[in-house]
Amino acid sequence: MFLDKSILVTGGTGSFGHTFIPMILEKFNPRRVIIFSRDEMKQWEMAKLFENDKRVRFFIGDVRDRDRLYRAFDGVNFVVHAAATKIVPTAEYNPFECVKTNINGAMNVIDAAIDKGVEGVVALSTDKASSPINLYGATKLASDKLFVAANSYAGSHPTKFSVVRYGNVMGSRGSVIPFFHQIKDSGVIPITDERMTRFMISLEQGVELVWHAFEDMVGGEIYVKKIPSMKVTDLAEAVAPGIKHEIIGIRPGEKLHEQMIGEEDSLSTFEYDEYYKILPVINDWKHDPKRIKDGIKVEDGFTYNSGTNDEWMKVSELQDWLNKNIDNLGKI
């Protein structure tokens, strides 16, 4: 699908981009991969990893800048939209900036993709977008709605849009695993609430879900990967065995359990072997056989919640993953 194609990744110097770029170069041999981001130092450091690969290009820009996006999208076939303001406390205390990037930026990406003839766009979302209680989640829910509606907004233009939604990305920059690893020598691991659970997904699984979305989408689908949950106390034990836990209380904007599919979404959600798919309710697309394919409708009232998940990650499983990835924790 991506052979000899041009692919652009917004926010491409982040954790997702550092995994997506080498994986797609190796598997699909695209004509070029463009990393679009606003941090020149991150681009400089990342460029060193690909300095002998002429397929990799770097483009300084911000998704808030509509004109710059239009220039960057020239000749691009596919776009992965990974740029976001994503740290929950940062968003709570800088709400206007979060809205500018996560909502206004999404609108700019949509317009540029349609007007520049991009074939397909997949936007990255988060479990915090389902029944959000914090500003970050609320902006990502709005972004998800924009990308779903973009398939109608595009009119006669052929550009297709879809969304992938997943939970805590293991080992990514700013996530809990590198944080626990960094402070474990202090002898105390802070736990917000001992009941807390989180979904767990690897960066490689996230990349593969994006590939599947590009291959499968008709337009407007939200793809939710089936992944295990883990108690935060078990996560802490895996990272720092035997270290004392200190209960500090839930931070502003945090949930006890994360959710990727809410009860309201169950009316248009279908189950597949490895994922769920939330179909758009606009234009009656939730009844479209081309979008449903071989999916099985979930029961009304179904929720996909980290606290009631059927699949759980064991401490030993996370420790095995840590042993293989310890050198890269929080670095990409």
CB contact at 8 A, 18 and 35: no
Q: What is each CA distance from 4 to 49, 58, 209, 297, in whole angstroms?
A: 21, 18, 21, 37
Residues in a beta bridge with 165: 125, 224
| Dist CA 12 CA 20 (whole Å) | 9
| Dist CA 203 CA 16 (whole Å) | 6
Q: Of 42, 86, 128, 231, which one is the catalytic site residue?
A: 128
Q: Residue 113, SS3?
A: helix
Closest CA to 199 of 130, 146, 277: 130
| Dist CA 106 CA 116 (whole Å) | 15
CB contact at 8 A, 306 and 199: yes
Active site includes 140?
A: no
CB contact at 8 A, 136 and 88: yes
Helix (H) / strand (E) element for 169: namely strand 168-169
User: Which one-letter amino acid corresponds to residue 209?
Assistant: L
Query: Which residues are designated catalytic?
Result: 128
